[in-house]
Amino acid sequence: MTTFGTAPDASLPLPTVLVTALSDRFGPRLSRGESVRLQHGRDESKFPPAPPDAVVFVETTEEVAAVVTLCREHRVPVIPYGAGSSAEGHVLAVRGGLCVDLSGMNRVLAIHPEDQDVTVQAGVTRLQLNRELKGSGLFFSVDPGADATLGGMAATAASGTNAVRYGTMRENVRSMSVVCADGRVVKTGNRARKSAAGYDLTHLFIGSEGTFGIITELTLRLFPVPEAVAAAVCAFPTVAAAVQTVIQVMQLGIPVARCELLDALTLKAVNRYSKTTLSEQPTLFFEFHGSTAAVEEQSVLAGEIAREQGGQDFAWATRPEDRSRLWQARHDAFFACLQLKPGATPFVTDVCVPISALAVCIEDTIKDVQASSLPMPLFGHVGDGNFHMVLLIDGANPEEREEAERINEQVIGRALALGGTCTGEHGVGIGKAKHLVREHGQPAIDLMQVLKAAIDPDGLFNPGKILPRPA
């Protein structure tokens, strides 16, 4: 691994009186050991580790409130930690401070099948939740690939493969409990399907990346397990043909449940890593949900569109185990790509553009790929206009680092010029603050700064994330 971005800011050691107070309350659940700190100071991103000064393992909302109150008293940063699966350095303690590990808050508190919602502690992971929902006839839809915690997914506005049909975290959180800067617990929203009762605090916290408060509980929307599910892969002669297929599927309003593009290099990586034998060509992975008749109707339509674009016949994964294997391979694509250049540092792009701009955005990006010597597999949630490239670089090689930065800048500039965003789903973290002004304009960034200063006046919640430090 290598250094990207700036080095951690200087931070003071934790005040002894704070350590004593935490130690008195949490006993062995407070850790200052190096390995625990290091483990909590890194994620899946390209950024070098930035360990916190200590880690506290909390079990209740009240404990989080007590920790926040103590840290505020001593002006110590607080960094919430779930599964450490962030792709943008969200959990890195770039200004030191106390890491609050919420993974022990892993209880499903209440399932309400009649209301199609569930209330969980923030440390429950999405796979755990779906295991606990088995037999209820319902499932939680948001699926970013990693087995992230639901608190972390809300904090980063996660999405993933299913979002094209069921929405991102923004559409799937009904209410939350959040510990705020003054140590009080704010309850946002309620379990009604809609409300117009005052400011929308739920969406205020979704995507705030731990900089406004610590999410401790969530009520999430669930969907009925579809009567029928069908998954298919379809290989195309070119990426452009695959993208055109996606655009037409979306524009026809076919309610695909998943619609993923993988380019030829990604397929090669996947075949090696997951022992699959998929054709090493640009390929779409589809999934259709609905009644048996609706699934049949959707897949016939999508198949016709694909054929018109030169796609091969759909190869169906009909048995549940084949389907799981296919999607596991898709989810492992990132790790598969890492093996294309063992030891490489991955530099992952995450732009998202309006569907009408997807073809030109991807076609021009492929020219970047072709002009570069770096391996950079391309894949993503194209039904949403969101795609990733994994730029595989030798972190010790400044030229490769520079080239990756340059290509990332190009892709982001292109997406913004097309009316898109620098991050479809990974979030800002520590790496993308510099693109926000270009994306949103100075008045919007100033308003974001106003919000941050008002909600977290001492700037202790996950400092160094999202916004550049105010001048």
Query: Cα–Cα distance between 178 and 184 in angstroms, integer?
Result: 8
Closest separation in Å from C-beta 195 to a second copy: 4
Closest separation in Å from C-beta 418 to a second copy: 9
Please, which residues have CB within 8 angstroms of residue 441's CB and are 6 or more apart in sequence? none
SS (H, E, C) 402-436: HHHHHHHHHHHHHHHHCCCECCCCCCCCCCCHHHH
Query: Cα–Cα distance between 179 and 268 in angstroms, integer?
Result: 46
Cβ proximity to a second copy: between 56 and 157 the closer is 157
Q: How many residues does the chain have?
A: 471
Q: Is 339 helix (H, G, I), strand (E, B) or coil?
A: coil
Cβ proximity to a second copy: between 27 and 443 the closer is 443
Burial class (CB in 10 A: 0-12, 13-18, 19+), 448: middle
Cβ proximity to a second copy: between 31 and 188 the closer is 188
Closest separation in Å from C-beta 371 to a second copy: 25
Closest separation in Å from C-beta 144 to a second copy: 11
Query: Cα–Cα distance between 386 and 358 in angstroms, integer?
Result: 8
Q: Between the CA of residue 385 and those of 404, 417, 426, 461, what are the distances in Å? A: 22, 14, 14, 32
Of 137, 149, 168, 166, nearest to 218 (Cα)? Answer: 149
Cβ proximity to a second copy: between 135 and 342 the closer is 135
For residue 70, give the DSSP letter.
H
Of 317, 319, 404, 320, nearest to 369 (Cα)? Answer: 404
Cβ proximity to a second copy: between 40 and 435 the closer is 435
Cβ proximity to a second copy: between 219 and 266 the closer is 219
Closest separation in Å from C-beta 221 to a second copy: 12
Please, which residues have CB within 8 angstroms of residue 469's CB and are 6 or more apart in sequence? none
Closest separation in Å from C-beta 183 to a second copy: 10
Burial class (CB in 10 A: 0-12, 13-18, 19+), 239: buried
Token code pair at residue 319: 């048995």
Task: Indicate the residue type of 10.
Answer: A
Cβ proximity to a second copy: between 156 and 349 the closer is 156
Contact of 340 with 377, CB cutoff 8 Å: yes
Cβ proximity to a second copy: between 53 and 425 the closer is 425
Closest separation in Å from C-beta 345 to a second copy: 22
Closest separation in Å from C-beta 358 to a second copy: 10
Closest separation in Å from C-beta 424 to a second copy: 6
Cβ proximity to a second copy: between 237 and 354 the closer is 354
Closest separation in Å from C-beta 397 to a second copy: 29
Cβ proximity to a second copy: between 118 and 329 the closer is 118
Beta bridge partners of 188: 176
Enumerate helices (H) and strands (E) in the chain, giving the number of each: 17, 18
